Structure 1
Amino acid sequence: MKVVGVGCGPGMLTGEAVRTIGSAALIYGSARAIDLARPAIRDGCEVHEITDYKALRALPADAVVLSTGDPMLAGLGYLGGEVVPGISSMQVAFARLGLSLVKAAVVTAHGKDHAAAVREAAEEVGRGRIVFLIADPEFSVPALAAALPGEVRIAICEDLGYPNERIAAGTAAEPPAPVSGLFVVVVGC
């Protein structure tokens, strides 16, 4: 099996991803991942939307599994096999904000314990790290802000790579608010 990162938005497929997708006879992915990869999918390729993520480990060896962003950043890289990297939301967010990845710490709150993610993010900021927090629609930016010193900078990055991309910046004292469900938070920027 190959796990291919399709990037976090349209037009962010790497050359390697395009070649791998273009030569695939069998592809699995979320509706969003399939949509992002559609320009590279050849006619006659069998494409399936993933309905059961637990069944992915039982796919045939020639299957290509599409993962939004980069498979190794909260993606499907855990499935094993050959991994083709993609352009992640983290890379795009840090590029848009002009930040180096050298001091980055990744925290995920997507489908996880939000209170624990807030604590982890606050600890990393206390260590001088720039936190890239993968959120989900239920994540509370005000709860995160309340756990930080007021002067700490916070950026909400939404729909990265899409035409409606939005980045809003503020501080923990006056945090920005997300307007869509597809967002990440950069803290300490």
Structure 2
Amino acid sequence: LASALSATAVFAASDPYCNEGACYGATHGYAATNIERYQRNLVDSCLATDAAVNGTGNLWGTKTCVAGAISYNWIWPETVLGLASCPNEQIACMADMPSLDYNVYASIVGDCAWQEGGCPITQQNFVDFIYGTLSDIGSGDWPSSTDTLLSEGWQPLLAWANSGETIPYTRFNDFLH
């Protein structure tokens, strides 16, 4: 029994990262998809934010990481995390990543976030968040059309959330994890 436990401990210690392979998959998937320049700007800004990617990371405490993860259904959170794990194997696993910072959520939905019970994300909130975040980083690139942003970002996110025409904080946070 002792040797079996010892072998298990050795095996577990040799594979300390849950993100093993995430960098490879993310970089190859990211390069192969039809990503618009504005989406790359969001993700690049995310990956350049020390608070988001250093140590165990806090991707969902950074607007550009959240915006990059929701702007296109071929990027999504797994790709952002995978790209962040390339220079930092210590970054937390998806399930262990801190929850969506409520200040970031409030920047999406507005002041109603602070009212009792909060408020969900609407389609207009989604569009405004993407464009506002692009403006915040000084991007000169924008979605090719709002219709494309909605069909490739909002509608797949809404379908995933399965919460009607809006997305509450809890479902949005679940999506990011």
TM-score (norm 2): 0.25
Q: Normalized per residue, which structure has more strand? A: 1
Q: Normalized per residue, which structure has more helix? A: 2
TM-score (norm 1): 0.24
Larger RCO (CA within 8 A; separation ≥ 6): 2
